[in-house]
Structures are given as C-alpha cells and as structure tokens.
Amino acid sequence: MNDVSRVKPRPLSPRLSIYRWQSTMIASVVHRASGLVLVLFVPLYLWLLHGMTGSPEDFVQVQSWLHSGLGKLSLWVAGVALFFHYCNGLRFLSIDAGWFEQRRMLRLSARIILGMTIFVAVILGMLL
Amino acid sequence: MRLVKEPGSARSGFRDWYMQRLSAVVLAVLLPLPFVVLILVYAGVVDQFGLLDIVDHFVSRLLHTILIFALIIHAYMGLKVMIEDYVPAISWRVTLIGGMLVMMSGFGIWWMAIIWAWGG
C-alpha cells in the first residue's frame, strides 16, 4: 500500500497541465468526462423509468418534464456523452485488439470521433 | 506477473482491465436499446401502453438485468481508476470507493426492484 508521505512529492499520474494537448489525449480525457456524465445520468434514468411505468398521471408528468428546457438539456447532454463514449469505447476495444495501433491511425481515429461527436451534438440540438 | 509500483486496489490489474472490456462489449450491445426507447417515448412514437408492452416482456427484463450488472461493473471500474488517478490520499480513496460501492449497490437493487415488480 502507499505511504502517503513518500508518495506526496510525486505527481499524480494523468497530469493534465503538463501534457501537450493533442487529439489522442483529448479523446482519453473526454472519455473519462463523458463516462462520469453517464454515471450521473443513471439515477435520472431510473426516475424517468419509474415515472413512465407508473400511473398515467406520472407518465404525463415525466413527458412534460422531458419536453421542458431542463429535460431537453439532460437528454442532449446524455445523448452526446453516450455517442462519444460509445464510439471512443469501440475505438479503445479495437486498439486493444491490435487494430489502428499506428500513431497516425490513433490520431486520425480520435479526430474522426471528436468531429463526429460535434456533428451529432449539433444535429441532436436541432432535433430535440 | 511483474509487480507494479502502485497497483492500486486492483491487485493484479489484468482482471480489472479484462472485466472493464468484457462489460464494455455487453454494454455496446445493450445500452443503445433503452436510449432508443427513451427517445421514442420522448417523440411520442411509443405511448405508455407501448412502453409497458416493451418493458414488461420477460426478455426485456432479462436484458435489463444483464445491462444493470454490466453497467455497475463498468462504472465501478471506470470511476475507481479515476479516483486512484486523481485522489492521492489513501483515506479519501477508501472513503470515495467505498461510498461509490454502497451507492451503486443501492441503485442496482432499486433498479432491479423496479424492473421485476412490473405487472405484479
């Protein structure tokens, strides 16, 4: 186990302030951030599920909340986070399987997924 | 296996890594389904009876249960790695990871209770 006094002077591993910002690093950081967002969405999803399968009045209430500003924003944030986390997760799995391991492909795939996420964010924003 | 300097709470590292990937594959198949249902309800394509028909089905309950297990494993492994990376004090780590486990177990039980209680 760690001896805190010994460990203290050493830097924390993913030091965001010292790494050069590049697409692969951004993809990794956003993967963590979107994962955190999705975890926070779980209690909300449970509440929605509970309401939607409850009485007809509950269903109407949940429907109107979903169509309110906050509801739309929640759906948008969760949708965009899910899209990125999903695509980048598949990217991570394929890298683990030994595909797209060249540096050029790592960067290109990260850029493509980040670009697609921005596109989806705009489209979803217009649709909701 | 060579011992790393700071293995964290994972002990071997490989098992956590493997479980994270295994649960990811399960989620890749199952997670889009509830989101699609949610969007269909939002759009008014599926009404409450339609929704109950979908979620009441035995297969849906089974898939939902597998989804919950995979989600909890995946979220637990992911958040644990983040806590270990950004929280250096061991006392805080233990508190946060422990609290997270309790919260996730609670939500998991509540979720399962909701799913298996439908339709009596």
**Tens-of-pLDDT digits for all 128 residues of chain A?**
555 555 555 555 666 677 778 888 899 999 999 999 999 999 898 889 888 888 899 999 999 999 999 999 999 999 999 999 999 999 999 999 989 888 899 999 999 999 999 999 999 999 88
More confident residue, B64 or A15: B64
| Amino acid A6: pLDDT | 55
C-alpha pair distances (Å), A90 with each of A97, B26, B80: 10, 12, 21
In a domain, A118, yes or no: yes
In a domain, A9, yes or no: no
Residues A4, B89: C-beta atoms closer than 8 Å: yes
Please give the tally of structural domains in chain B. 1
Q: What are phi and psi of B4, to 5 degrees?
A: -85, 160
Cβ atoms A36, B79 nearer than 8 A: yes
Q: What is the pLDDT of residues B14-44, one digit of tens each?
A: 888 899 999 999 999 999 999 899 889 999 8
Q: Tell whether A47 is within 8 A of chain B (Cβ).
A: no
In a domain, B9, yes or no: no
In a domain, B10, yes or no: no
Q: How confident is the model at residue B1 (pLDDT cuts 50, 70, 90)?
A: very low
Mutate to test the interface with B, among A32, A37, A60 (most CBs of B within 10 A): A32
Please give the tally of structural domains in chain A. 1
B71: chain A residues, CB-CB within 8 Å: 42
In a domain, B3, yes or no: no
pTM of the model: 0.85
Residue A111 one-letter amino acid = R
CATH number for the domain harbouring residue A113: 1.20.1300.10
B51: chain A residues, CB-CB within 8 Å: 52-53
Q: What is the mean pLDDT of chain B?
A: 86
In angstroms, the CA B112 to CA B46 distance is: 23
Question: What one-character-per-residue DSSP string does A11-60 give?
Answer: PPSS-TTTSPP-HHHHHHHHHHHHHHHHHHHHHHHHHHHHHHTS-HHHHH
| Amino acid B9: pLDDT | 62
Residue B84 has pLDDT above 50, yes or no: yes
A and B: number of Cβ contacts within 8 A: 77
Mutate to test the interface with A, among B9, B36, B39, B91 (most CBs of A within 10 A): B39
Note down the domain range covering B47: 21-117
Please state, as a whole number, how many other Cβ atoms lie within 10 Å of the Cβ of residue A32.
17
In a domain, B6, yes or no: no
Note down the domain range covering A117: 35-127
In a domain, A56, yes or no: yes
Q: Which two tokens stand for residue B115?
A: 């799913």
CATH number for the domain harbouring residue B92: 1.20.1300.10
In a domain, B113, yes or no: yes
CA of A104, closest CA in chain B: separation in Å? 24
In a domain, A19, yes or no: no
In a domain, A74, yes or no: yes
In a domain, B28, yes or no: yes
More confident residue, A49 or B118: A49
In a domain, A29, yes or no: no
Percent of chain B with pLDDT over 90: 48
B38: chain A residues, CB-CB within 8 Å: 45, 48, 75
